[in-house]
């Protein structure tokens, strides 16, 4: 009887987790409802974020009090978020896979623990410190040395990479800094999966005459494909929602779709931070509610992506990692 009570009590307290998640989503939806009503579905396809004339008297439009000329569209944010995430993933995936392979297969076991730990410490570095590093040293380095180099080689062939390379703030810089933040997720998960592959697989491949690298590349690595997809989704979720580092290196473009890979962009997460101060100037409060709508959209996207990632890792793999990522 008492045992049952204890268990029920624990189950109830554990309910705080689902309750928190539900509270976040529902409250953001509830709070941004007037904005959703006013903005409609055009919210995600318009590329103008304009608070309207803040000095005029509010007018009524679609049953909502707004400042004259106000329109809220976040297409440029969606494009910025997707492109920076795409760049980050296309750098982080090969790098993470390479590092995981080398760690799992080439580094001696005693050393492996410490090198993995060192590289995975990247996950512990706060986002704002990445931002500081990006702002202080990476932007000048890339802007002065690396981007002109790309523009003069790759830029001759593909217009998207052509000059002008700008000051160093922008899409590519955001992607590069983001990639470093998500690479340990991929490297750590894949290394775990590679190490836990049965040794007999490798032995069989070696016995058939494969080199060590062929055994790895053609036999061991395909076996971890599902883990890799799951880890990629996890990394994707992290990159989509990353705020501070992107805020500090992306150039925070407003109402601008990037024409070149060096152009300034903004992402949904960074935009919420950079725009709240000016949104507060809107006397109707619709701007703050529209920012809440961005937060709501971002919450839904990240919940879907993360749920998908966990399902992939759980169902396909049944893996229980030893570390919480």
Partner 1 sequence: MSTLAPTRRPAHQIRLSRRIASVSGWTLTGACLFALSALMVWILEVVFVRGVTALKLSVLTTVTQGTGGGLLNAIEGTLVLSAGALLLAVPFGVAAGIYTAEYRFTRWATTIRFLADVLVGVPSIVVGYFGYVGMVEWLGWSFSVAAGSIALAIISLPYICRTTELALRQVSNDLRDAAYSLGANDRRVILGVCLPAALPAVLTGVLLALAVSVGETAPLLYTAGWSNYLWDGHLTHSPIGYLTYAIWNFINEPFAAANALAYAAALLVTGFVLIINIAARLVLDRRARR
Q: Near partner 1 by CB under 8 A, which window of 62-70, 150-158, 251-259, 265-273? A: 265-273
Does residue 119 bind partner 1 (CB under 8 A)? Answer: yes
Among 61, 144, 152, 212, binds partner 1 (CB under 8 A): 212
* 272 part of the interface to partner 1, by CB under 8 A: yes
Q: Does 93 bind partner 1 (CB under 8 A)?
A: no
Q: Does 122 engage in binding with partner 1 (CB under 8 A)?
A: yes
59 in helix, strand or coil?
Answer: strand
56 lies in the binding site for partner 1 (CB under 8 A): no
User: Is there a contact between 194 and 105 (Cβ–Cβ < 8 Å)?
Assistant: yes
Site membership for partner 1, residue 234 (CB under 8 A): yes
Q: Under rule CB under 8 A, which residues in 239-258 are in contact with partner 1?
A: 240-244, 247-248
**Which of 133, 148, 255, 256 forms a contact with partner 1 (CB under 8 A)?**
133
Spatial distance between the Cα atoms of 213 and 192, rounded to a whole number of angstroms: 18
Distance CA 85, CA 234 (A): 12
49 scored as a contact of partner 1 (CB under 8 A): no
> Taking CB under 8 A as the rule, does residue 306 contact partner 1?
yes
Residues 160-189 that bind partner 1 (CB under 8 A): 180, 183-184, 187
Q: How far is it, in rounded angstroms, from Cα 92 to Cα 236?
A: 10
CB 252 within 8 A of CB 274: yes
CA angle 25, 238, 259 (to 5 degrees): 105
Q: Which tokens go with 123?
A: 């996950």
Query: 105 or 263, CB closer to partner 1?
Result: 105
Residue numbers 136-155 binding partner 1 by CB under 8 A: 136-137
* Collapsed DSSP state (helix, strand, coil) of residue 66: strand
CB 247 within 8 A of CB 81: no
Q: Which residues contact 140 (CB under 8 A, 6 or more apart)?
A: 168
Q: Does 203 participate in binding partner 1 (rule CB under 8 A)?
A: no
Q: Looking at residues 10 to 39 of the shown chain, list those that interact with partner 1 (rule: CB under 8 A).
A: 10-11, 13-18, 20-21, 23-24, 27-28, 31
């Amino acid at each position: 009887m008492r045992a049952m009570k204890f268990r029920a009590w624990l189950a109830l307290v554990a309910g705080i987790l689902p309750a928190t998640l539900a509270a976040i989503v529902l409250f953001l939806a509830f709070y941004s409802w007037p904005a959703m009503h006013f903005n409609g579905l055009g919210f995600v396809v318009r590329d103008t974020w304009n608070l309207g004339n803040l000095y005029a008297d509010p007018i009524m439009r679609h049953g909502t009090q707004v400042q004259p000329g106000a329109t809220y569209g976040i297409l440029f944010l969606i494009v910025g978020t997707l492109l920076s995430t795409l760049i980050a993933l296309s750098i982080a995936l090969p790098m993470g896979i390479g590092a995981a392979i080398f760690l799992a297969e080439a580094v001696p076991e005693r050393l492996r623990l410490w090198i993995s730990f060192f590289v995975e410490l990247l996950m512990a570095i706060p986002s704002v410190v990445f931002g500081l590093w990006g702002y202080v040293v990476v932007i000048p380095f890339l802007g002065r040395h690396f981007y002109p180099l790309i523009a003069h080689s790759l830029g001759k062939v593909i217009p998207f990479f052509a000059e002008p390379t700008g000051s160093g703030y922008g899409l590519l810089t955001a992607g590069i800094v983001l990639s470093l933040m998500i690479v340990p997720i991929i490297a750590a998960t894949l290394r775990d999966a590679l190490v836990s592959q049965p040794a007999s697989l490798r032995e069989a491949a070696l016995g058939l005459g494969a080199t060590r690298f062929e055994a790895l590349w053609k036999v061991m690595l395909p076996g971890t494909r599902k883990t890799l997809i799951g880890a990629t989704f996890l990394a994707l979720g992290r990159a989509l929602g990353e705020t501070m580092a992107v805020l500090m290196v992306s150039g925070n473009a407003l109402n601008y779709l990037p024409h070149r890979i060096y152009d300034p962009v903004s992402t949904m997460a960074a935009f919420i931070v950079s725009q709240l101060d000016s949104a507060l100037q809107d006397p109707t409060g619709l701007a703050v509610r529209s920012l809440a709508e961005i937060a709501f959209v971002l919450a839904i996207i990240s919940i879907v992506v993360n749920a998908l990632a966990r399902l992939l890792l759980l169902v396909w793999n049944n893996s229980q990692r030893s570390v919480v990522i």
